[in-house]
Amino acid sequence: MSTFLDKCPAKVLKSTGIGKVFQDAIFPSVLFLPSLTPEAESIQIMQPAYRALIILAEKDPDTSSPTRRLLLDSIIREGILTAYDHASSYIHVVETLLRTLATVVNCLGVYTVKHLQTLLPTISTVMTDPFVVSHPPALLEATKALQAILANCWPRICQGGYADEVTRIIATCWLNIQDDEVDSLVLPGLLGELKKLASMLRSIQHAQGDKTVPRVEEILKAEPKLRELFSTTQAGAT
């Protein structure tokens, strides 16, 4: 299906109305979830379904198009968030959903801001859960999803009062990893992405002149284990 949609001209999808037909036919597939559907099978169905829906959205090159935004909004609300609510205990499903979320956020761009109040708590639930540390790939996808949110929603991160929450999420995740002493091939990359995330947040704060967030040195005095996490941001924080 994705291959066909990728090659099908956007004009054909729009003029014939077949694009909406495909959308309506594909969308139910993203909710084939455990426990009714085995986890592995669910992922096999979910991945191509999301890929096809994203291709349908991207067929409209106008990023501000109401039609494109409506589909991407639906993918987040009725797809990813609904699926997470139903299958949050299935870590491989969660990993797939978070990977998809990063892609959708990058497609939706700054219009993702309307979802901040629901997306941040969802990502927080994953990144601050000490038990998820035993599955670093899920943490890595959550970290990349949060990076995508910061990159696209940065104008609202400080103004909307989200900077403190993001700092808490990053710091808690880092400390959970340190306390658990996770041994994984994914771990070095995960730690690097968390440091990148911290650097992104500080850059946003400085760009917006945010004075409400504690200075990095104050955070480090409270928890020295965070020194490596914030090492790339200290110069800008002082």
Q: 45-66 pLDDT, tens per residue? A: 999 999 999 999 999 999 999 9
- Cβ atoms of 153 and 116 closer than 8 Å: yes
Lowest mean pLDDT among 13-17, 72-76, 77-81, 82-86: 13-17
Give residues with Cβ within 8 angstroms of 54, minimum separation 6.
72, 75, 100, 103, 104, 107
Q: How far is CA 49 from CA 28, 53, 117, in A?
A: 9, 6, 26
Q: How far is CA 205 from CA 97, 227, 234, in A?
A: 28, 19, 13
Q: How many Å apart are CA 194 and CA 33, to the nearest integer?
A: 29
Q: How many Å apart are CA 232 and CA 196, to the nearest integer?
A: 8
The stretch 68-91 carries a mean pLDDT of 98
Instruction: State the pLDDT at residue 233.
Output: 56
Q: How many Å apart are CA 221 and CA 215, to the nearest integer?
A: 10
Q: Which of 142, 211, 209 minimizes the C-alpha distance to 176?
A: 142
* pLDDT interval class at 178 (50, 70, 90): confident
Is pTM beyond 0.85? Reply is yes
Instruction: State the pLDDT at residue 238.
Output: 45
* pLDDT interval class at 30 (50, 70, 90): very high
Instruction: State the pLDDT at residue 207.
Output: 86
